[in-house]
Structures are given as structure tokens and as C-alpha cells.
Amino acid sequence: MVKMLKSAKNLLRSFAAKVLDLDDTVKPMAHLRLFEDYLDKHNFDTDTSDLNEFLEVLKKKHLVDEILVSTTNGGTIVSSTNGDSVSKSVTGAALFNYVESEHPKSETILIKSNGVWNMIFSYGEKLYIIKASSDLSIVELRSLAKDMEKFLKTRALN
């Protein structure tokens, strides 16, 4: 009887999740606390008009190695990479568009290659390609994108 009730409960929960499209994603609280502690201990002055200086501060603030912002068709907008931003933009856009066509509800693409994480996600009308030694949560990635969008809007690079 108990097994039957448990099975019925699981069946109803599964059905409700599919019908209501419930999101049971949990915020990575331990990861966020560590990140907040890091931010509290360091001062990151992003109030600069120099793009390269801003990118360096943003990389340190969000603990990433490379930041590349492109259009969804592969045109580079902003890049902290050294010389290969065009090919990375085109490759990232092609990969993102392919995955989005196969999995329309996907938010982020995470690829770990040679111990380095490559994260691709869209924010607004832009595509962000981030490289880091550790994967970032979608909350952290959106925070980085918000910082970048604020800079682009205030500096009229948008």
C-alpha cells in the first residue's frame, strides 16, 4: 500500500512538472557564499572608460580567463582574447545556434576541454563566450553580462 501511494505521488509529481513546466533548479548557495566572500575582500573598480582596463577588472571580479561578447551571427563586439576573437565568435555563435535549434529551452553551453571551461550563453541580443578554470553558475554568468551591458550602455559601445 505504501509503495503504491509513493508511486502514485511520484507519477503525479512528474505529470505536474511536465504540465506546469516547473523549474526545480536550486541556487548553488555554497558557491555563491564563497563568491560573495571573495567580493567582500576585494575592491573592483569598474568605473573606467578604458575598455581593456575594464575587461581586466571584470575578469578578476568574476574569476574568468577570457571574455568575448559577440552578436548571435558571430560578429565580435568586445574581446579580451589575444588575436583570435573573430574565429572564436564565429565558432561560438555557430555552436550556440546549433544547440539552440536542437534544444530550444537551453540556457548555457558548458564545455570542458583540457581542464578549461568554455561557457556560451545569450544575454539580451548578445552572445557571451567565457573561458575559465572553473564553471560558473547561470547566476554568476548573468552578473558578468549585466556588468558588461552597463559598461557598453554608458560608453555608447552598444
Say how many domains are in the chain: 1
Question: Which of 158, 157, 127 has the alpha carbon at shortest distance from 141?
Answer: 127
Is position 102 within any domain?
yes
| Structural domain of 93 | 26-154
pLDDT tens-place string over residues 115-146 = 999 999 999 999 999 999 988 989 899 999 99
Is position 3 within any domain?
no
Is position 12 within any domain?
no
Is position 87 within any domain?
yes
CATH number of the domain that residue 42 is part of: 3.30.450.30
Question: Which of 45, 76, 46, 2 has the alpha carbon at shortest distance from 10?
Answer: 2
Instruction: Please state, as a whole number, how many other Cβ atoms lie within 10 Å of the Cβ of residue 51.
Output: 15
Is position 6 within any domain?
no
Cβ contact 141:147 at 8 Å? no
Strand residue runs (E) in the chain: 66-71, 76-79, 108-113, 116-123, 126-132
Is position 125 within any domain?
yes
pLDDT tens-place string over residues 8-37 = 777 777 766 666 665 556 667 776 777 677
Overall pTM surpassing 0.75 (yes/no): no
Is position 15 within any domain?
no
